[in-house]
Structure 1
Amino acid sequence: MAHPTEDKNFRLPTSIRPRRYAATLTLDMDAKRFSGQQTIDLELAEPSQEIILHAIALQLGEVTFRAGGEQRKPASIQPAAQSETVVLRFDAPLPRGSATLDVAWTGRFTEGLRGLYSAGKVAATQFEAADARRLFPSFDEPAFKAKWALSVRVPKGHTVLGNGPVVKEEQDGDHQKVTFQETEVLSSYLIALVVGPLVGTPEERVGGVPVRTWALPEKAHLTRFGQDVALAVLPRLQDYFGLPYAFTKVDQVGIPDFEAGAMENAGLITYREVALLLDPATAPLSVQKRVAEVVTHELAHQWFGNWVTMVWWDDLWLNEAFATWMAFKIVDQWRPEWRMWLDFDAHRASALHLDALKSTHPIHGEVRNAGEAGESFDAITYEKGGAVLRMIEGFLGEGPFREGIRQYMRKHARANAVKEDLWNALGEAAKQPVEELATAWVGQSGFPLVSARLEGRTLHLSQRRFYSEPGVQSGEKWPVPMVLRFEDGGGVREQRVLLRDAQATVTLEGSGDVKWLTANANSTGFYRVAYDKPSLEKLATNIKALAPSERISLLADQWALVRAGQASVADLLDLAGRFGDEEDDSVLDELVGRLAYIEGRLVDGEEQERFRRWVERLLSPGLKKLGWQAAAGEPDRVKLRRAALVRAVGGLARSQEALAEARPRVARMLDGDRDALEPNLLDASVAMVARAGDSALFDTFLQRMPKEPDPATQRRYLMALTAFENPALAERAQGLFFSDTVKTQDVASFAAGLLGNRTGREKWWEVMRTRWKDVVLRTGSAPMLLRRIVEAMGILRTREHLEQVKALLQANPVPEAQQATAQTLERLSQDVALRERCAPEVAAWLKKQP
């Protein structure tokens, strides 16, 4: 009979638990090898003849079990590749009670961006979801929390960072030995180690907690902003949770090659450099906001995730959704002028898009093994989860919601929890049926389309599940917490409704004619709205009365209805035409996003040129009025509006006038003139100029990119290389994909850039198909990057492309990206059908334009 560990869905028995790991690691940085010795304090709830540890590619040496003064050696040590475990089998049952296990082992640094790996000059760990087992033989599931006492031996001259502060540094032969303070109880995925020639900011304290931000020496001047964010948000988080920070220190480190955006290791947070390091004098506001949001997200995890941890990966959303929502909330408190919730709406849009597919998944879904856990790190877990928490908070009120969170934190401190624990705490604090609301939204895929029809002061509401594929229907319902906002004779008012049934009728409070009504006030609800024609016309006529978030939703919902075959693209374009004098940058971003899709997918040749000129006529007067040069003391809102208009007129409409303005400015910027381009115009201007650029400009970007210390600038130049539309230069860029020029962390976005290049696309797509194994190899088998490579194929346009993508992924399945494969194929087939359905309608509409 097969041993249970032969099954890749194997889970560790809970009868043996670790209480403490005391480990010493020795790293050979040149040979990229390590050796380790550790003592694990164990608790056996019952006698057992075997101990099972997780381990991948580790060679176990001496193993000794000790209990009650006796010591025993295993009769056999059997690795089980399927479950990534090693089974230590003993001749006779081991006694229940306390015991210790001594283990010695050796291993190699991981190729790719997980386990312990090389990122240029730095050795770093990345363990979430299940890669601690690549460095430590361990109980590598989140429910097995234990204390960790680590020492590390490395060659002299390196900075060595761990979860705790350094308590001892000593010379040990040719090595320096660094011993860290023992940690609080932690799950194995939160243990971390970073070794390399790093320099840190001076230590600063927040309520006694030392905070430092680290980078390679040539990037040390870019650490201040990330340090300031941590100092600003840490007290706000302590205040929200009503609990002090638990992990003795905060170290933040920029890692030169990193798979995700960042990782919340307790006390030692690791980041992709572009998510931590910047120069505020030259960084666009979007980059500053992104760094602030990521830093706050990771610090929020120190409570939600590290202090209280999910039992298993099916509740990953408990960590991620909460940290996503919390980051926007706290940064919004710190910098209200940034209007972070409008950025949140833009993030939420990706979740709405994904969740309208048949191949979506619930926020809380079944996860059978570590590989499946890796697929859960997506927009549903993060953005939909965050949006649902925001919706529940909006319904319960901020005070009761926070009290529920505090209760949850106190009750499950240092331990593990499941989603019901959170609902119970929130329900108790708010005295509301939270579980009914939450279970429907967290346990069920998809979201509702709410139809709203107004007759006098009576609002007729109905709901059904929204699918982006025309004609697909199913019968799910949700308890939809709605906030209505409308204007009548008495002014603007709000009214709350919980729509539980398929249909309902609501009498609006107040009196007089209703001038306009929005059925998702401030866009806090995770649903789409379809208005009847008269209601839609009232909204379009009174567009300025709507909040920016509501104007964004109006455009986004209408576009979703076009995709689903429930509204005409001509009506959408008529609506878009009303936004010519729009002054809000976030609304302009939404408008430009919708119009860019039409320009990129629904028009070709003459129609494409006609569409570009229509966009130019609509939006260039706004750009002319603002000009390209920022005035002294100009507000951020104005700078961001200018940037959105440059993207629209120069990027989307390909205006020759805008290109003529951008070219000399980019040249001056490259010559070192900091005032040539306002920072928020850098991305759009560099991309626009690259698209029409020559080989001299290509060489400039190629030479500057690796030497550039600022990660956002480096990325700007890297992506510019994918934009050159001169066929010979497009081909040169394609060759770079397989070279060291493109770091592992950037391969997916570089591939997507090449697929987005209109002159190089077909050739690059042919390269991807013929060299697919090499493309996969470039990701270092990092699951997140593999998923993104698959998702990048969604940029393709035609039915022939769709058939080729299907054939490629059928012949070469990517097990780590099964969900991404299904979603990409479904989305691409809808895009192709939309193109075939709507292209003639867009052409007809364009002919009628003056």
Structure 2
Amino acid sequence: MAHPTDDRNFRLPSTVRPTGYDASLAVDLDGRRFASRIRIGLALAAPSTELVLHAAALEISRAVVTAGEARREAAVRLAPASETAVLSFDAPVPAGPAVLELEFAGAIVSGLRGLYLAGPGLAATQFEAADARRVFPCLDEPGFKAPWRLTVEAPRDAVVLSNGRPEAIEEVERGAIRRVRFAETPPLPTYLVALVVGRLEALPEISVRGVPVRTWATPEKLALTGFGQDVAVEVLPRLEDYFGVPYAFGKLDQAGLPEFEAGAMENAGLVTYREVALLLDPATASLAQKKRVAEVVTHELAHQWFGNWVTMTWWDDLWLNEAFATWMAFKTVDAWNPGWRVWLEFDQGKAAAMHLDALRSTHPIRADVNNVAEAGEAFDLITYEKGGAVLRMIEGYLGEERFRDGIRLYMRRHARANAVADDLWGALAEASREPVVELANAWIRQPGFPLVTASRAGRTLRLEQQRFWSDPARAGDEPAAGWPVPLVLRVGQGGKVTEQRVLLRGRSAEVTLAGDGEPDWVCANAGATGFYRVRYDAAGLAALGRNLAALAPAERIQLLSDEWALVRAGAREIGAFLDLCDRFAGEEDHAVLDELVARLATVEHRLVADADRPALRGFVARLFAPQLAVTGWDAAPGEPDTVRLRRAAAVRALGLVARAPGPAQEARERLDRWLAGDRAAVEPNLHDALVAMVARDGDAARFDAFQGLFRKEADPAFRRRYLLAQAAFEDPVLAARGIEVLLGGEEVPLQDVASYSAALLANRTARGPYWARLRGEWDALLGRVQGAPMLLRRVVEGMGALVERRELEEAEAFLAAHPVEEARQAIAQTLERLRQDVELRERTTAQVGAWLARGGR
């Protein structure tokens, strides 16, 4: 007879709850093994002859339960479908307190989850979503929080870090082994327990309001830890002040790991990072790198409250953890360094989420999660970026103070415990006396977002909403209900700008604009804070085009993004969009220029016929050559970041999109000088673009040089840059070498396999041969990333760089014949987007050619 644990959707019963864990773990780095004993305090609501806990890839040699005076040995049966261990007893374990003791062992794996090999002589854990069960038998669901006490034995020369402070350190086995006992933690879900063992060093700790902060790296990268440490020191007190709750975990360690699947992991008191998300040299790092490290560090520290102090009950509220940390990170970094204008980077993430959310294969922010494999697929742009954008939109509606008061109420009410989304909405509603539950649930419980059509007659603005689809064939499909859309309008008249707020509840509404006379222009998404697209009537769009300078940079970016989305949806002609791009010839803001470069790069990659490429490149050069003429290649002393980033946008446009020979030659000369030791030759914000430009046109000597640089470089951003450069060479012989780097050996780090694969598919020379080999050697590549399911999904998503209908049909047939259970959602989304991209190409290529033939006017 089938047992409930034979179902992969099995959930632990609520009648047995953990009250505490006490584990002793012996780590053998050379043998890549660990052995452990664990005592789990339990509270049973009813007598039971069976206890179930999670365990995967563990060898359990003994399990004994003590309840009162009785000790009972268990028979252990493993249930692989649900990754559980069923402990059966010959007599019922009585209701009340009990202690379960287990002895077990396992392997330090080469994948990137459980306890894995994170670098030479270095092991680390990654437990989210549900991989603590690969190191400890435990109740591995987020609703079962309990304190943890950990004791670890490791080689004497290894650093040992965990969630708590070290309480005692002693040497055993004649000094060959060091035993570290850590302080008991506050109640934690199992996914936040962490351990790092091996070759690491840290700069001296810094105390922040009594909290010691240290940032760790492998010894050769110790000098790169200072910036990440400074960020943590700056933002930790800001987060304490915002939440109104002191930091709860005693100390804060940050560790940069050479191999790491995601960007970072918010383990309580021990945050682990992919090195590129934590380590940098401020003298050579680009501003984008600094912003990224600041945002990631702050995101993980925000989790120490939102997720760690108050934890979701189950993975269907994962979005609540990640969306809040995403939004909070940008809010905190912006308050700390407003000159960085990080909300514009936030808008880039929001735009990517809108692209995904316009697909049939999207999902609501709060998606039903039946098992942990589905939880893994929920780590996407909808969860992080759309969720964060909706929170920002709600904060804008409630106001900053009332929103913060609601968050503080939520933190107090659910301290050290679990909560669900409606608990947050209830606290915000109580603090603000606004209908937050209605507003929030309308946005998080249904997929998609609205397209708001704005048309004006005099001072009457008519607003209509419908669901936005990127597929032209679905334009008439509507959800059962619309959205309550909180719009902020900006109206320009005679040099004066006013704002007006509207909550669009129904399908349509008419708004009388304040003031007298005819407005010069109306922007229906002020500050671009709303998660919706706007379609203006012809007169409204023309008015905005004439008054671009009056719009904020975020609004200009949103205008470009919305109009591009309308082209994809078949609601605008590509020629009209290129006309709009032409109006940005005098643009000075680097963030707007970045958006323009991105859109024109897509046109160059997908939509232009080979015969029309010279004309398109001429158009791009006409837009951006004056930009570079203004900034020049060399940074002046004290030059502001705005100029540096404007120069970088121009170089990317001219070198990577227009492929202009002059900038290409300049790039080669400057990069060679920089590599020879002249650091003034390449302004830090240009280095990534120059490496890409030089690689694309490079010869065999250049390929060898980049390969050598990759092998010896310590800085993780530069190392990754030199690695991906090997996938960018367009000479056929060198493109073949670039393919061999991935498929012919193990030189590409596991964490970079998906990025490298995507880079090969984006290379027009390598694409064909690599696509053929990828399908032919799929099983081998799949096996390589099998221990890193997030990377597996990214490999599938990289197929979105394919261009032709033939390639689309090959991808559809191949993925149908080779289904990947862990990437079902990624496959559906990738194929749907690729299908739309191919149809867009077929629909617009002739139109692009005709527009260019007219001289781009």
Shift of 1:607: 0.4
Residues in 2 aligned to 1:668 and 1:337: alpha-carbon distance in whole angstroms: 31
After superposition, residues 494-509 of structure 1 pair within 5 angstroms as 494-509=499-514
Residues in 2 aligned to 1:794 and 1:605: alpha-carbon distance in whole angstroms: 20
Residues in 1 aligned to 2:339 and 2:353: alpha-carbon distance in whole angstroms: 25
Query: Which residue number in structure 2 is paired with residue 783 of structure 1?
Result: 789
Tell me, yes or no, if the aligned pair for 2:627 and 2:646 is still in contact at 8 Å.
no
After superposition, residues 345-364 of structure 1 pair within 5 angstroms as 345-364=347-366
Query: Which residue number in structure 2 is paired with residue 631 of structure 1?
Result: 636
Which amino acid counterpart does residue 821 of structure 1 have in structure 2?
Answer: I
Residues in 2 aligned to 1:302 and 1:112: alpha-carbon distance in whole angstroms: 26
Query: Which residue number in structure 2 is paired with residue 203 of structure 1?
Result: 205
Query: Which residue number in structure 2 is paired with residue 752 of structure 1?
Result: 758
SS at match of 2:833: helix
1:314 counterpart (300, 313, 316):
316
Residues in 1 aligned to 2:419 and 2:496: alpha-carbon distance in whole angstroms: 46
Tell me, yes or no, if the aligned pair for 2:359 and 2:832 is still in contact at 8 Å.
yes
Query: Which residue number in structure 1 is paired with residue 172 of structure 2?
Result: 172
Query: Which residue number in structure 2 is paired with residue 720 of structure 1?
Result: 725
1:111-146: CA deviation from partner (whole Å, max 9, x where unpaired): 310000002221000000000000000000000101
Shift of 1:625: 2.0
Residues in 1 aligned to 2:258 and 2:623: alpha-carbon distance in whole angstroms: 43
Asked if 1:238 corresponds to 2:240, the answer is yes
Query: Which residue number in structure 2 is paired with residue 133 of structure 1?
Result: 133
Which amino acid counterpart does residue 718 of structure 1 have in structure 2?
Answer: L
Asked if 1:475 corresponds to 2:478, the answer is yes
Query: Which residue number in structure 2 is paired with residue 378 of structure 1?
Result: 380
Residues in 1 aligned to 2:591 and 2:783: alpha-carbon distance in whole angstroms: 38
Q: Which moved more, 1:480-489 or 1:181-190?
A: 480-489
The sequence identity of aligned pairs, in percent, is 60
SS at match of 1:571: helix
Query: Which residue number in structure 2 is paired with residue 817 of structure 1?
Result: 823
Shift of 1:680: 0.1
Which amino acid counterpart does residue 580 of structure 2 have in structure 1?
Answer: L
Residues in 2 aligned to 1:685 and 1:316: alpha-carbon distance in whole angstroms: 39
Which amino acid counterpart does residue 170 of structure 1 have in structure 2?
Answer: E
Structure 1 runs (4+) deviating above 6 angstroms are: none
2:770 counterpart (757, 760, 764):
764
Tell me, yes or no, if the aligned pair for 1:529 and 1:557 is still in contact at 8 Å.
yes
After superposition, residues 292-371 of structure 1 pair within 5 angstroms as 292-371=294-373
Gaps of 5+ in 1: none
SS at match of 2:637: coil
Which amino acid counterpart does residue 725 of structure 1 have in structure 2?
Answer: E
Q: Which moved more, 1:467-476 or 1:595-604?
A: 467-476
Asked if 1:654 corresponds to 2:637, the answer is no
Shift of 1:489: 4.5
Asked if 1:31 corresponds to 2:31, the answer is yes
Query: Which residue number in structure 2 is paired with residue 840 of structure 1?
Result: 846
Q: Which moved more, 1:382-391 or 1:686-695?
A: 686-695
Shift of 1:471: 2.8
Query: Which residue number in structure 2 is paired with residue 229 of structure 1?
Result: 231
Query: Which residue number in structure 2 is paired with residue 422 of structure 1?
Result: 424
SS at match of 1:212: strand
SS at match of 1:737: helix
After superposition, residues 441-590 of structure 1 pair within 5 angstroms as 441-472=443-474, 473-476=476-479, 477-489=482-494, 491-590=496-595
Shift of 1:781: 3.2
Residues in 1 aligned to 2:262 and 2:184: alpha-carbon distance in whole angstroms: 27
Shift of 1:512: 1.9
SS at match of 1:596: helix
Residues in 1 aligned to 2:786 and 2:642: alpha-carbon distance in whole angstroms: 41
After superposition, residues 110-149 of structure 1 pair within 5 angstroms as 110-121=109-120, 122-149=122-149
Query: Which residue number in structure 1 is paired with residue 59 of structure 2?
Result: 59
Q: Which moved more, 1:260-269 or 1:736-745?
A: 736-745
Which amino acid counterpart does residue 117 of structure 1 have in structure 2?
Answer: Y
Query: Which residue number in structure 2 is paired with residue 275 of structure 1?
Result: 277
Tell me, yes or no, if the aligned pair for 1:142 and 1:311 is still in contact at 8 Å.
yes
Residues in 1 aligned to 2:630 and 2:308: alpha-carbon distance in whole angstroms: 51
Tell me, yes or no, if the aligned pair for 1:36 and 1:105 is still in contact at 8 Å.
yes
Tell me, yes or no, if the aligned pair for 1:650 and 1:658 is still in contact at 8 Å.
yes
Shift of 1:712: 0.5
Shift of 1:218: 0.3
Shift of 1:166: 0.6
Tell me, yes or no, if the aligned pair for 2:130 and 2:141 is still in contact at 8 Å.
yes
SS at match of 1:675: helix
Which amino acid counterpart does residue 656 of structure 2 have in structure 1?
Answer: G
Query: Which residue number in structure 1 is paired with residue 99 of structure 2?
Result: 100
Tell me, yes or no, if the aligned pair for 1:744 and 1:780 is still in contact at 8 Å.
no
Tell me, yes or no, if the aligned pair for 1:408 and 1:422 is still in contact at 8 Å.
yes
1:67-101: CA deviation from partner (whole Å, max 9, x where unpaired): 11211111x21000000000001112110001101
Shift of 1:109: 1.4
Query: Which residue number in structure 2 is paired with residue 43 of structure 1?
Result: 43
SS at match of 2:681: coil
Shift of 1:604: 2.3
Tell me, yes or no, if the aligned pair for 2:113 and 2:787 is still in contact at 8 Å.
no
Q: Which moved more, 1:250-259 or 1:719-728?
A: 719-728
Query: Which residue number in structure 2 is paired with residue 671 of structure 1?
Result: 676
Tell me, yes or no, if the aligned pair for 1:706 and 1:741 is still in contact at 8 Å.
no
Gaps of 5+ in 2: none
1:401 counterpart (403, 424, 429):
403
Which amino acid counterpart does residue 210 of structure 1 have in structure 2?
Answer: P
Which amino acid counterpart does residue 799 of structure 1 have in structure 2?
Answer: R
Query: Which residue number in structure 1 is paired with residue 70 of structure 2?
Result: 70
Which amino acid counterpart does residue 658 of structure 1 have in structure 2?
Answer: P
Which amino acid counterpart does residue 753 of structure 2 have in structure 1?
Answer: V
Which amino acid counterpart does residue 317 of structure 2 have in structure 1?
Answer: D
SS at match of 1:580: helix
Which amino acid counterpart does residue 631 of structure 1 have in structure 2?
Answer: A
SS at match of 1:53: strand
Residues in 2 aligned to 1:333 and 1:644: alpha-carbon distance in whole angstroms: 26
Structure 1 length-normalised TM: 0.99
Asked if 1:602 corresponds to 2:607, the answer is yes
SS at match of 1:154: strand
SS at match of 2:488: strand
Tell me, yes or no, if the aligned pair for 2:609 and 2:849 is still in contact at 8 Å.
no
Residues in 2 aligned to 1:471 and 1:491: alpha-carbon distance in whole angstroms: 41
Query: Which residue number in structure 2 is paired with residue 643 of structure 1?
Result: 648
Shift of 1:110: 2.4
Residues in 2 aligned to 1:752 and 1:59: alpha-carbon distance in whole angstroms: 38
SS at match of 1:297: helix
Residues in 1 aligned to 2:243 and 2:730: alpha-carbon distance in whole angstroms: 52
SS at match of 1:687: helix
Query: Which residue number in structure 2 is paired with residue 153 of structure 1?
Result: 153
Tell me, yes or no, if the aligned pair for 1:489 and 1:511 is still in contact at 8 Å.
no
SS at match of 2:168: strand
Tell me, yes or no, if the aligned pair for 1:489 and 1:513 is still in contact at 8 Å.
no
Residues in 1 aligned to 2:205 and 2:721: alpha-carbon distance in whole angstroms: 32
Shift of 1:490: 7.8
Tell me, yes or no, if the aligned pair for 2:55 and 2:83 is still in contact at 8 Å.
yes
Shift of 1:740: 2.5
Which amino acid counterpart does residue 718 of structure 2 have in structure 1?
Answer: T
SS at match of 1:478: coil
1:239-281: CA deviation from partner (whole Å, max 9, x where unpaired): 0001100000000000010000000000000000000000000
Which amino acid counterpart does residue 162 of structure 1 have in structure 2?
Answer: S
Query: Which residue number in structure 2 is paired with residue 831 of structure 1?
Result: 837
Query: Which residue number in structure 1 is paired with residue 747 of structure 2?
Result: 741
Tell me, yes or no, if the aligned pair for 1:301 and 1:323 is still in contact at 8 Å.
yes
